[in-house]
Structure 1
Amino acid sequence: MESNIDSPAPEASSPAVLHPALAPLSFLLGTWRGQGEGGYPTIHSFSYGEELHFSNLPNKPVIGYTQKTWKLSSGEPMHAESGYWRPKPDGTIEVVIAQSTGLVEVQKGRYNTNEKVIQLQSEIVGNASKVKEIRRSFQLVDGNLCYDVEMATHSLTLQPHLKAVLKKI
């Protein structure tokens, strides 16, 4: 049996290599911050501050994702989620998200590299007593990352829920 003891360890300071599968969505990488608006037929409308972070995992065909929101008036935290985005060379994408509320999403969709559009549709919404479907749409418009989220519950069909405009910082 051969030993790898003499093999050099990877250098911690070596630059993160972007996996080729991530190239079409590399515009997402970095931190985005801005404001959004939310509402739903069963709740009062609200505004919020938001930060999204998309990170390159060195040599892996996946983008790390974190999100946090806060009340604009006080800075008090509101919502957070994290997960992974896996774009495929055929223009499809798989996304997994765990929310701070305990809800988890498995989403599938498509991306259009030329138009910088990503459309996601929930395949599974887990640990949710009320939510049964979520759709997310992202688009780069004039350098801003814009998104909207639609949600369906057991008593309501898909309805607008969230929308925001974020700038890269």
Structure 2
Amino acid sequence: MAANFMPPPATVHQAVQPLAFLLGTWRGQGEGRFPTISPFAYSEELNFSHSPNKTWKLNTNQPMHAESGYWRPQIDGTIEVVIAQSTGLAEVQKGTFDAEQRIVKLKSALVGNASKVKQITRVFKVGNEELSYVVEMATNLNDLQPHLEASLKKI
């Protein structure tokens, strides 16, 4: 256990316990790119709790999008994540988690209400008191490739 790691409260459901290292609010900056858009920088706040995750433009603080969803970890190390975005996109992602390595790997099983987006993957890692992630996306015009990546600090 890291020196600054606080054990989760006793009220955490036993199925969520292996992912307790994600609980809390994380804030930082990231970069986005894709062949059909100009690269951009953004600020982000991720809240693994009961409120939505949200992003806003780095230079103007203008809201970009928000996400809300449910993480359904299983005892065998598999996980299902359901995400609804303010853009109308809905995702069902399936993957694995490793509580010791503090990593979650997800791949879309379903991307709903999307005429262009065909696949999304997400990898979350926690280390050195920082949450980093990479989101890759494939569309009907582009193969799977990096779209978003960020490093967030717990606040």
C-alpha RMSD over aligned residues: 1.2
**What corresponds to 1:124 in structure 2?**
110
Identity %: 63
Is 1:110 the counterpart of 2:96? The answer is yes
CA contact (8 A) 1:103 1:126 kept: yes
Secondary structure of the corresponding residue to residue 11 of structure 2: coil
Match for residue 11 of structure 2 among 14, 17, 27: 17
Runs of 4 or more, structure 1, over 6 Å off, are: none
**What corresponds to 1:10 in structure 2?**
none
Q: Distance in 2 between matches of 1:16 and 1:115?
A: 22
Secondary structure of the corresponding residue to residue 21 of structure 1: coil
Q: Distance in 2 between matches of 1:25 and 1:66?
A: 18
With normalisation by structure 1, the TM-score equals 0.84
Q: CA 1:69 to 1:134, structure 2 compared with 1: closer, same or farther past 3 Å?
A: same
Match for residue 152 of structure 1 among 138, 141, 145: 138
Q: Distance in 1 between matches of 2:24 and 2:52?
A: 11
CA contact (8 A) 1:37 1:48 kept: yes
Q: Distance in 1 between matches of 2:117 and 2:89?
A: 9
CA apart distance, 1:16:
7.0
Counterpart residue type for residue 65 of structure 2: H
CA apart distance, 1:66:
2.2
Structure of greater Rg: 1
Q: CA 1:65 to 1:116, structure 2 compared with 1: closer, same or farther past 3 Å?
A: farther
Match for residue 27 of structure 2 among 24, 30, 33: 33
Q: Distance in 2 between matches of 1:153 and 1:38?
A: 15
CA deviation map 1:15-46 (0-9, x unaligned): 87111111110011111111010000111100
CA apart distance, 1:65:
6.0
Secondary structure of the corresponding residue to residue 20 of structure 1: coil
Is 1:136 the counterpart of 2:130? The answer is no
Is 1:95 the counterpart of 2:81? The answer is yes
Q: Distance in 2 between matches of 1:73 and 1:98?
A: 26
Q: Unmatched 5+ residue regions in structure 2?
A: 1-8
**What corresponds to 2:41 in structure 1?**
47
Q: Unmatched 5+ residue regions in structure 1?
A: 1-14, 56-63
